[in-house]
Structure 1
Amino acid sequence: MGFSDLLNEVGGFGRFQVIQVTLLSIPGLLMASQNLLNNFTAGVPGHHCRIPNVTIALNVSRNTLLHAFIPLDSTQTLAKCARFTETQWHLISDEVRNTTQPQTEGCTDGWTYDTTEFISSIVSEWDLVCTLRPLKQMSQTIYMGGVLTGAIIFGGLSDRFGRKALLIWSYFQLAALGTFTALSPSFVVYCILRFLTGMSVSGVILNAVSLKVEWIPTKTRTLVGTISSFFFTFGQMLLAGVAYSLRDWRKIQLAVCLPFFIFFSYSWWFSESARWLVLNGRSKEALKHLHRAARMNGKPEMTEKITVEVLESHMQKELQSSRSIYTAFDLMKTPTMRKISLCLMVVWFSTSFAYYGLAMDLQKFGVNIYLMQLIFGAVDFPAKLVALLMLSFLGRRLTQGLCLLVSASIIFSNIFVPSEMQITRTTLAVLGKGFTSASFTCVYLFTGELYPTVIRQTGMGLVSTMSRIGSMAAPAVLILDEILPALPNIVYGGSAVIAGLIAFLLPETLNIPLPDTIEDVEERWTNINHSNQEQMQSDSVDLQDIKHPGECSDVLPPTIITERNT
């Protein structure tokens, strides 16, 4: 018997689990906003060089007047980064224009921005256009760098100091620094605060996932994990509504960060992972949380039956293993752990790489950015429902691989769609994003089930690091379209294909109890592999018996090693 049996004895997935999972999932409504915020706070409004304040007696509109100051670009629209050195008054009339090209210069007096789509953004506030345009993408890369750093730092710290403590701190850090970001006096300060906010985002995600998984019975993990991901999906749609209503980057920033003070205020109610407490020599505290769960689940009689001795007897092997101090190096020391870690690193990188490659530059689709964000969020619902069915009936491994391969096929198909067919291209991009989102849903659940309790957060931190490297690399790949327009899609799709194939190398975890130690992982998956091999050998012997019954009469079938329930 193991800890999973104790969870079933105190009510399984009862009222306690429902409340804890719900309170942990609600912040997910705004976690999507943190990652996709740059689409709106760093939106690029229409702009052109600022022109002098002139008064003329001509009865012409301002748009017509602009032709005397601003040249036309190759698409016959007003240039965004140049103006005439001398005013070309003759260009505001319909008369025949001179064939000579007037001399132009940069926007030395600044820019004028269209406020129709964005009242204010960091682009218009700090003039991140023309030669400074790369700074817009750099701000998102810096934020993702913070998320990466947070994954490394908070992953290891939570295995040492607990999930709850690090989650509480992450809520506070996100709320405080996110609010200060809205008050940034300069672009440099903005980037620094966004980096620190990104660190806290990792702390929230990693610890919330572990607190959910480690309190949920085996049979309900799939359903709960998928439903929890819907909060993130709905959050994408909520972001579109908030951004459309406010349209000012400072107000949007406040709107998605201030609520974390509320999450911080109720996070003290959470129960620390009882698994983690036992494995860190704090069995009495773990027992209090188990008794609390039993009472809330309507099983008060279990508070007398489950004692410290009973709890530790259920986790005797895990306690013996927990005397060791684990680091990230332990993820690579043993064969099975090494295989799992390397495969997950590729899957996480490619999933994030393709996801943010599709989701981070919505203006490129030529559709209203608020509507595009709403559509991108809405498509996740059917995609994740499909993933839920697949996870429940096909298992984690097959679902993970198929989601990545289907996403890759959609990305590749977009290469052959002409640029004029914008609706078709947008539809395919939305579908591709839906399947990468489903892949995210699966990989979060899959990873939590593959890594053992003693090093689960360290493992989550490692693979999350690869995810953030993927999200940082995704915007940079878009530059390749200057070489070949199809090249970004080839890179995104190729990465998803490789990861989809590698996902099939991972062991299946459907309806299997969570491992608590590295020894559990090695014993469980090694035994399963040996059992499969021996079963194949047994089948081979049986076939020989059928062909030559007299030759193998003394052969006994090999013993099949069965998995020990933990």
Structure 2
Amino acid sequence: MEIRAVLRDPKTFGRQQHIQWLLLASCNILNALHLVASVFISASVDFRCQIPGLKNDTFAVQGWEHNSSISQYIPLKSDGKYDSCHLRVTNTSQLETCNSYVYTTSIFKDTTVTEFNLVCDKTALSTLAGVVYMAGLFVGSIAFGAVSDKLGRKWTIYIGLCLQAVFALSIRFAPNLEAFISLRFLLGAVCIGGLVTQFTLMIEISPPNRRTISAIVQTLGWAVGVILLSGIGFALRGWRDLQLCLACISIPFILTYWWLLTESPTWLLSQGRFEEAVQIVKRIKELNNLEDVDTEQLVDTENEETQAKESWRKVLVSRTIIINILINSFGWFVGSMGYYGLALNVGNLVGDIYVNNLIGGIVEVFAYFLLLICLKAGRKPVYILLMSIGGVALIVSGFLIVYLPEEGLSWVIVTISMIGKFAVSAGFELIYFWSAEVYPTSMRNSMLGINSAAARVGGMVSPVIADIPKYSENMPFAEGAAPLIFGAFMLMSALSAFFLPETNNIPIPECVKDANELTYNYKGFKPYISKTKLVGEVEMTSTKSNLL
């Protein structure tokens, strides 16, 4: 009995894979808690200069004498609000910059911005912290991809969990901004590396007709993490308290996952480790009650040794795979840029930051469930539709921001913008697992690492685009520039997806040769193949697939 056929057979899917799904989705909850925590940890709050000589000065007015002192020392800006960065020199109209500040504590007890005084002339350091953090995600995407393909999925995930706890706890005790930035860089690297590896394992343990559901389940874990973070952040208003709590949440994962998580049998076969793959199949047989699977007669007719020796040399001479990597990387870049630009900037939205973050998580849940329903039509048409709708919605919202009167009609802009956010969330999730289905098992995680690195570049670009109105006040269309740019990139991503293969319900390629054949035979919108054509050395007799 061919072992790969057993692993691909939907009849062998059951309790064992469901347990692995739950474990990997739970890991993604942890990833979201750490990766999105910066929304609260590094949030900006209202502040002003501290009144000279008043040690117990607070942002909140303590009485009429305190209010009089504020009026004496703190000048007003043209909009009637207090100047945040200047003091009035006593008995003169001259202003001087200050180096000590008081912050409102109505929302947060403290954040890194308030503790390290990342305001006024030090505002750029807060932006730098975010850029370095994204650079950590960039490095982790590439490094962990190679580590996973070398050491295996299980080892990489477990190492990532351990390092995640260590770096998260270290951040809690960071003595200065330099240490905080450095540790956040390392935490971002291990979190995103673990996320990509977990996703790869989820895809590889699922038969073709379950890959869509598996990817949605794993991403729902992320959305649940975003929702939980709102509650944890609301309960713990200090950034160090929140960071300590997140570090402690990692401990149960470290204590249990080595014994609960199984290695990818597909990866083991690609490395020529047949006996270890057989042991996993025996465990699947036991947990899923598969009486008709004879584990003593399993064979692997494919050449594992050849696959194990595959290198980037074969990839670099394959124009088809290179094009797929480039198109997917662009899709990841656009998805990350749009997601971070629209979803993680909740602090800049009107309303309570915790409620906004909660709503964002709920919107993602609905987006992923809708994606699950729509994917019966295939990967390509759904992705093109989502990115087209999102792109048009954001471009329209950009024009409305500039030309629509603000009075009473702001809900129109918010609604259309949320349509764009809904579409980019679903589209980013779709390109995530669509990419995994295009790449060969022997080098899948390395290629996904390249895609994820492109996504991190998009994440670094998004705040720069979002801040265009701040440094381009004289530009005629500055206020609507961000959604226009995001929307234009989404439309370009939709156009580029026409050149990717349709992979719905098709066995994932095992080697570079299979990946080339996959792209050649599935260029249209519907998966089809001739009755004699082999993909991954498995004969496909159906011409169309109507399964999810």
TM, length-normalised to structure 2: 0.89
Q: Aligned equivalents of 1:494 and 1:297: distance in 2?
A: 48
Cross-structure match for 1:271 = 262
Q: Deviations over 1:502-532 (max 9, x none)?
A: 1121110111011101101112332445999
Q: Deviations over 1:270-309 (max 9, x none)?
A: 111111112212111111111111111112563xx234x7
1:326 corresponds to which of 306, 311, 318: 311
1:296 corresponds to which of 287, 297, 303: 287
Cross-structure match for 1:356 = 340
Q: Does 1:434 align with 2:419?
A: no
Q: Deviations over 1:183-238 (max 9, x none)?
A: 10000000110011011112211111121111111111112221221111121111
1:338 corresponds to which of 298, 301, 322: 322
Secondary structure (helix, strand or coil) at the match of 1:284 reads helix
Cross-structure match for 2:542 = none
Compute the displacement of 1:156 (Å): 0.8
Cross-structure match for 2:396 = 413
The 1:360–1:382 alpha-carbon spacing in structure 2 relative to 1, beyond 3 Å, is closer
Contact 2:502 2:523 in 1 (8 A): no
The 1:330–1:201 alpha-carbon spacing in structure 2 relative to 1, beyond 3 Å, is farther
Contact 1:365 1:422 in 2 (8 A): no
Q: Deviations over 1:522-554 (max 9, x none)?
A: 12332445999x99xxxxxxxxxxxxxxxxxxx
Contact 2:21 2:217 in 1 (8 A): no
Q: Does 1:77 align with 2:81?
A: yes
Cross-structure match for 2:546 = none
Q: Does 1:306 align with 2:266?
A: no
Contact 2:503 2:522 in 1 (8 A): no
Q: Show structure 2 runs of 5+ residues with no match.
A: 57-61, 473-477, 539-548
The 1:474–1:419 alpha-carbon spacing in structure 2 relative to 1, beyond 3 Å, is farther
183-192 vs 25-34, greater mean Cα deviation: 25-34
Cross-structure match for 1:539 = none
Q: Aligned equivalents of 1:374 and 1:531: distance in 2?
A: 36
Q: Aligned equivalents of 1:214 and 1:485: distance in 2?
A: 44
Q: Aligned equivalents of 1:281 and 1:528: distance in 2?
A: 28
Q: Does 1:562 align with 2:546?
A: no
1:105 corresponds to which of 88, 96, 104: 96
Contact 1:331 1:341 in 2 (8 A): no
Secondary structure (helix, strand or coil) at the match of 2:107 reads coil
Aligned length, in residue pairs: 518
Structure with the greater alpha carbon radius of gyration: 1
Matches within 5 A, 1:133-282: 133-268=123-258, 269-282=260-273
Cross-structure match for 1:551 = none
TM, length-normalised to structure 1: 0.86
Cross-structure match for 1:95 = none
Cross-structure match for 1:120 = 110
Q: Show structure 1 runs of 5+ residues with no match.
A: 89-101, 536-558
Q: Aligned equivalents of 1:36 and 1:107: distance in 2?
A: 32
Q: Deviations over 1:53-78 (max 9, x none)?
A: 469xx982534531111011122111
Contact 2:213 2:372 in 1 (8 A): yes
Q: Does 1:477 align with 2:465?
A: yes
Q: Aligned equivalents of 1:278 and 1:4: distance in 2?
A: 9
The 1:112–1:419 alpha-carbon spacing in structure 2 relative to 1, beyond 3 Å, is farther
Q: Aligned equivalents of 1:138 and 1:63: distance in 2?
A: 35
Cross-structure match for 1:457 = 445
Contact 2:21 2:202 in 1 (8 A): yes
Contact 2:3 2:298 in 1 (8 A): no
Contact 1:531 1:560 in 2 (8 A): no
Contact 2:501 2:524 in 1 (8 A): no
Cross-structure match for 1:96 = none
Letter in 2 for 1:24: L
Secondary structure (helix, strand or coil) at the match of 2:510 reads coil
Q: Aligned equivalents of 1:530 and 1:433: distance in 2?
A: 28
Contact 1:351 1:404 in 2 (8 A): no
Letter in 2 for 1:456: R
Q: Aligned equivalents of 2:265 and 2:187: distance in 1?
A: 29
Secondary structure (helix, strand or coil) at the match of 2:102 reads strand
Compute the displacement of 1:331 (Å): 3.9
Contact 1:360 1:475 in 2 (8 A): no
4+ long deviations beyond 6 Å? none
Compute the displacement of 1:8 (Å): 5.3
